Structure 1
Amino acid sequence: MSSSSPAGAMPLREHLAELRSRLIKAVLGLLVGTCAGWVLRAPILAALTRPACFLHHVHGVAGATPTCPSGVLVLQGVLAPLAFTFKVALAAGVDLSSPVWTYQLWAFVAPGLHRREKRWGLAFVAAAVPLFLAGAALAYAVFPKGLDVLASFNPQSFGLMIEGDQFLDFFVRMVLVFGLSFELPVLIVALNAAGALSAARLRSWWRPVIFSVFVFSAIAVPTGDPLTMTVLAVPLCLLFLLSLGVCTLHDRRKASRPAGDDGL
């Protein structure tokens, strides 16, 4: 940060230079992560395709292989295998390099924050990352069952073909829906910390919130089956109740502080 400014503000040119530097480092981290994903593509692909390859009650149009007995997964076109493998490596690279690009984002924003805001920001990031990972892990755990439910509607007289790009998009959407949904308590606590949402108001809204969670789960899950919807909705309801407890403790502590005390 430039020391020439009395307020400690960074000139626009230095802001742009700082942004360019952070972006370059984030892109380099993504490239390294993608290269690692390419090297590890075999176990990643095996873990990714296992739910579709072991659907026993359907028969695919492709020939069965030892690693994919169902034969439902196909790739069409000369460049399709390369493009699909690169997409998998890129998705793995985004995950593997997440500590790098999230740190670069934080390092760019943090100098403009006050000390208290930095503490809040670090607390929210520390909570958001494991919550997203927990949602993604739950999505991967329920993904085989959801895929099995969808495949069960395939008529016995028809073969089933799942294109690789469609399969990958379906899986990524599942992970994003679960992962981002698990950020609900972070959003609620952030609004409470900013003074925009009180615990008392949250308590008065608990019935509509629970109902909205189930409606959202029914719409958002890619499979659309009741089991997957419930698997997403129940943890979200528990997370809402947990965030309500945190907001209640925060409001009580805030009310007990002397006037003018703006501590964390």
Structure 2
Amino acid sequence: MAASDLDQQGLLQSGGIDNSSNDNDEDENDPSAMSLIDHLEELRWRIFKCLIAVAVGVVIAFIFRDWLIHILDAPLPLSANSIGGKEGHKLVMTGLGEAFTVSIKLSIVFGLVFALPVILYQLWAFIAPGLYDKEKKHAVPFIGLGLILFVIGVTLGYFILQFPVSFLINFGADNFTELISANSYFSFVSFFLLIFGAVFELPLVLTFLALIGIVTEGFLKSKRAMAHVGLWAAATVITPGGDLYSPIFIGVALSVLYEFSILLIHFTVKKDPAEEIA
């Protein structure tokens, strides 16, 4: 009897070992159970794909550089680069290769813009294995919304670009004759437009933080007043130039985007059962 009991116990233990090995095999085949090295390898390839997309975008932007330059220098007032009472406006070069350098800089900036759909997709594809199936369905809306928000931000920035440019040009007009170089102007414009585009990605950033459990809808609601004050303070700091209009536009945009983020998280992020009970 004792021997048979030991045999049965051994069979049960071997069965338990076999079951655990099957579980391990299933875990290893599960995409969400990747090792750290596998995650780093996947991240490397996704960054590589993003760089390829940026390179293609840079080439496209360089081909259409004249058209981009014509659009971006439109907000420049006619009083710019005026000498001897004559109307100016045309930008100047202060170095032998400045025209080429400016073209490369603009191409890189707009290459990033053109590659934004690929970048957003690769970002989502990298974090998707750790999400629920219900949350994975938001991939296409995530990418589409990111593009729409970025375009809205850049468009808004372009239309109010004239205010900081005019302020900075006319600020020292009584004491100085300012000759605006192409490098300084387009660096300013690129920085200004990218700020607006990046600011309008705030809902996606907060939604991503909610998906990985760092913030919640309730937390954002409880910190609403403090957040709005901080966003308006940030609007006055990150805005280049000293005009009154740009910080107001950015401040209003940030407040609207913050409230939109709460609404977006409400409909896309699965709530924790404890939070639903509360």
Q: TM-score range by the shorter chain?
A: 0.7 to 0.9
The residue correspondences of 1:141-156 to structure 2 (distance < 5 A) are 141-156=159-174
Larger proportion of helix: 2
Given candidates 65, 82, 86, the residue that maps to 1:41 is: 65
Asked whether the equivalents of residues 41 and 88 of structure 1 are also in contact (C-alpha less than 8 Å), the reply is yes
CA offset digits 1:143-169 (Å, max 9, x no partner) = 112211221212235321222222222
Q: How far is 1:257 from its partner?
A: 11
The residue correspondences of 1:209-248 to structure 2 (distance < 5 A) are 209-247=227-265
Q: How far is 1:139 from its partner?
A: 0.9
TM-score normalized by the length of structure 1: 0.75
CA offset digits 1:117-155 (Å, max 9, x no partner) = 533555544433322221111111111122112212122
Residue of structure 2 in register with 1:96 after alignment: 114
Residue of structure 2 in register with 1:262 after alignment: none
Structure 1 counterpart of 2:66, which letter? A
Residue of structure 1 in register with 2:177 after alignment: 159
Structure 2 counterpart of 1:129, which letter? L
Partner secondary structure for residue 137 of structure 2: helix
How many residues align structurally? Answer: 251
Change (3 A) 1:22 1:210: closer
Partner secondary structure for residue 162 of structure 1: coil
Partner secondary structure for residue 73 of structure 1: coil
Given candidates 120, 140, 144, the residue that maps to 2:158 is: 140
Q: How far is 1:77 from its partner?
A: 1.5
Given candidates 180, 194, 210, the residue that maps to 1:176 is: 194
Gaps of 5+ in 1: 260-264
Equivalents in 1 of 2:261, 2:115: separation in Å?
29
Larger Cα-atom Rg: 2
Residue of structure 2 in register with 1:56 after alignment: 78
Asked whether the equivalents of residues 62 and 107 of structure 2 are also in contact (C-alpha less than 8 Å), the reply is yes
Gaps of 5+ in 2: 1-25
Kindly report the root-mean-square deviation, in angstroms, between the aligned alpha carbons of the 2 structures: 3.8
Q: How far is 1:91 from its partner?
A: 1.9
